[in-house]
Amino acid sequence: MSRFTVGDRDFLLDGAPHRVLSGAIHYFRVHPDHWHDRVRKARLMGLNTVETYVPWNLHEPRPGEWTDSGALDLGRFLRTVADEGMHAIVRPGPYICAEFTNGGLPTWLFTDPTVGVRRNEPRFMRAIEAYLTRVLDLVAPLQIDAGGPVVLVQVENEYGAYGDDADYLDALTAMVRGAGITVPLTTVDQPRPHMLENGSRPGLHTTASFGSRSLERLTTLRRHQPSGPLMSSEYWDGWFDSWGMYHHTTSAEESATDLDALLGTGASVNLYMFHGGTNFGLTNGANDKGVYQPIATTYDYDAPLDEAGRPTAKYWAYREVLAKYTQVPDEVPADAGPAPTGEVALTPVASFPEAAFLAMPVTATSAVPTFAGTRDDAVYVIHRAGFERPSVSVLTVGEVRDRVHVVVDGHPVGVLRREDGETALTLPPVVAELVLVVEDQGRVNYGPRLGEDKGLIGGVRVDGAPVTGWETVALTADDIVRLPRTAVDVRESGAIPALTLAAGTFEAEDDRDRFLDVSTLGKGVAWINGFCLGRYWSRGPQRTLFVPGPVLRPGGENTLFVLELDTAPAAVVRFVTDHDLGPVED
């Protein structure tokens, strides 16, 4: 068995100085059949360690309902790292940010709005202790002193940017140690004095997050971590994308030059990200710093490996830098070549609201409930009320989180959008029914709005009078793909109407990865063979969805299923040779 410790100036592996050269791969953003390929490519670039967050909200979607199999088999992922002869860093949070929905925290934690968020509050801490016990039961046997790959475990995540509750950090540290973690414990914060001061505690090794000006930032870190190895445990080599923005890229040459400067000091590093992957299954988060901005489906991050796991210019530039500080394998990744092409014709198969009310449990309430009042893990909640108004009227809501389609007597009449601050809409005369389709576009993952509820906050009024007598259904992504087919009134030939479920079939000759061009669609969600590829949106930046080859059925019939929320001008989509993540900033 080996031993990994923190020395006076270096990490020590069995007593000898050791530099951590790590890259982040989030197992939950990569199809499990691709884990080995991505880890192996990290080793071939010259890295010796792989880092991952752990998403509490996926592992425990309901209180006490724990899952760690399939795409969430953390143990298998860590053993895959070990099989490549590499070490591992585990960051279990409980808060992870990661541009992931709710920062990785389960929504059920916050159905009671008085529960503490990232502070030493009893109910919050009890839930955390149960979570950490479960996840660290998986990690502890895989520590390096037990013959496994894990050399570091992080406590919380960039806490100094959020709070200063020292008791909270001390309690988390005690929980981690009590769960059998013996390797060194770390924290990470941006290299700003107040963040580094508030985000760490005695006994925790302080590291920093940044992506440029390394020498300056390491100097700041050294003032707060006077001894031991310097480490950027989040070296930002790119950035994430938000809907309606451009695709972020950074110069491979400039980034490699700065990485060279960092390594020239003797510091350790964790590239964030080495391979970003994809926000499959509607797991993207959102930011709200005055304006709500949901994260895109792609988490390509302009990383050394792109969303499809292919080396980029940054991969080769970093490999050249790493070769100055470590022995890099002679072997290099093979060229994947262009992806297969093809076409899928889509046919409307159901009205989304109608199919949902046919198949899902219906809750009757006087006032419109929020998501927490129906199903906290839902991504869509649909409300309907019997309603009559012979003349034009005005619908108002208190606050929209995040997008609401308004339907009168089966006809969509408008959309209220959170990012625009819209809370009112003119209604045509209503004969029988008012339907509101509410979409969660991604829960805030950073800042004071973490853990907030979704839905229509503050009720629904028409001409100032409350609307009562509502029926409500709540749906997850898995619920939607299982909805029954119903008759659809298609008024415009060749298009997919708003709030419509559509499907089409195609054949795949092999299981190579593909790229689905969604530029002919409006806004919605796509599944292949029941696997949720994620959201698409005509506002961009991304115009393709990544299709992992393992979800296909080679030689057989494959099904593409979409929920179109707006209107798709063409009922056909195509597989294209490469991804299109949209325009970049000039």
Q: What residues act catalytically?
A: 158, 234
Q: How far is CA 506 from the centre of its chain?
A: 28
In the block, tokens 């790229």 appear at 515
Could you tell me how many residues make up the chain?
586
Neighbours of 71 (CB within 10 A): 19
CA 60 – CA 479 distance, rounded (Å)? 18
From residue 360, give the alpha-carbon distance in Å to each of 108, 112, 224, 585: 20, 25, 54, 44
Q: 363-365 and 470-475 as β-strands: parallel, antiparallel, unpaired? A: antiparallel
From residue 503, give the alpha-carbon distance in Å to each of 481, 496, 529, 561, 566: 10, 11, 11, 4, 16
CA 69 – CA 461 distance, rounded (Å)? 46
CA 443 – CA 379 distance, rounded (Å)? 10
Picking from 293, 300, 280, 305, the residue whose alpha carbon sits closest to that of residue 580 is 300
In the structure encoding, which two tokens stand for residue 399, read together? 């606050």
- Paired with 311 in beta bridges are 305
Secondary structure (DSSP) of 102-118: GGG--GGGGSSTTS-SS
CA 507 – CA 316 distance, rounded (Å)? 35
CA 317 – CA 307 distance, rounded (Å)? 18
**First CA to last CA distance, the chain:** 52
In the block, tokens 């007593």 appear at 15
Picking from 449, 439, 434, 391, the residue whose alpha carbon sits closest to that of residue 418 is 439
CA 456 – CA 315 distance, rounded (Å)? 45
From residue 168, give the alpha-carbon distance in Å to each of 69, 298, 346, 400, 582: 30, 33, 52, 33, 42
**Residue 331: is it exposed, middle or buried by C-beta count within 10 angstroms (0-12/13-18/19+)?**
exposed
Beta strand spans in 284-379 (E): 286-288, 292-294, 342-345, 347-351, 363-365
From residue 443, give the alpha-carbon distance in Å to each of 209, 286, 328, 381: 23, 6, 40, 15
